[in-house]
Amino acid sequence: MPKLSVVVPFYNVQQYAPETLRSLHLNARTDFEFVLVDDHSKDETPAILERAVGELSKVAQVRHIRHKTNGGLATARNTGLDAANGEYLTFLDGDDWLAPGYLTELVSAIEGLGCDFIRTDHVQATARARSVHRVPHGRRQVVLNPREAILPADRSTSVDYAYAWAGAYHRRLLDRGLLHFTDGLRTAEDRPWIWKLHREAESFAVVSLLGIFYRRGVASSLTQIGDVRQLDFIRAFDQVIEDTAADPEADQLLPKAVRTYCAIIAHHLSEINKFEPAVARQLRSMSAAAIKRMPQDMLGEVLDTMDLSRSSKLRRLRRRITTAKAAA
């Protein structure tokens, strides 16, 4: 069994894949497994991967999988998880990269702590600029109950730091069905996933380890494209709400889920001009329907505690629903 499996989806990243693959080479060990999933790229990414597999296979174990159709990041990660054999697992996106030796430090950290999963800081790379982003959790190098890191509702917590690649995960989580993503989600796929981990895993820790570089501002990234795929955040957060509502401690955890959902809706509404006109209309209608589905008493309490800019946007949307209902 490999010590670590790294699941790396690629889709139309010919400009960045060589750097990603070089960083894997600089992290390789014979007991590491790299699971490379080409999500039916249409540029030169498949050829780049084909060339890289031979070199990587000399220094690590390599699985190379090509999808016959494009399924999106969540589906590609699931394909990689199904093929992975490692005792520990982690992720890397096909346009990001690792510092040399980072994966060895990552394995040492989770082995030393003996917990289900660990979370790490990361470096955000935007053009030539670099900035460090920390896990929003104060206690470090201490094994904790993941459920206790979900709250408080009114502050950024570990479930808001949803990056799957910022950490490592013991295989027992995969065996328990906690590492797979909601199939087909094109964006916000990490959100139901991180909430599930924190609700259902037994132990985690935050470690002060830097070494993963997250590339921002990529033109092909869904965060930069205002098309209908962006609206998958609605389906993702509907799942967060539904799953959390079924939790035995729903009364404590659900306000956090509702508040986060509201904050994300307000964020997208504030950037509505980046969307195509038809998608913008769909965003408004889907957001209104999502607000209608939320527990209304809890929603009112959440809106009372949010800043004026965001709460005003959401209250206008809520009033529009009420007015439309009265008119009908």
Pairing of strands 212-216, 122-126: parallel
- List the one residue out of 301, 237, 299 whose CA is nearest residue 268: 237
The SS3 assignment for 86 reads: coil
Q: Determine the pLDDT at residue 23.
A: 98
pLDDT digits (tens, 9 = 90+) for 137-189: 989 999 999 999 999 999 999 999 999 999 999 999 999 999 999 999 999 99
Residues 6 or more apart whose CB falls under 8 angstroms from that of 100 comprise 23, 26, 27
Architecture of domain 4-223: Alpha-Beta Complex (3.90)
Alpha helices in the chain (DSSP H): 17-25, 45-56, 73-83, 102-113, 171-175, 190-200, 232-245, 250-270, 277-293, 296-305, 308-327
Rg (CA), the chain: 20
pLDDT digits (tens, 9 = 90+) for 271-311: 999 999 999 999 999 999 999 999 999 999 999 999 999 99
pTM summary value: 0.93
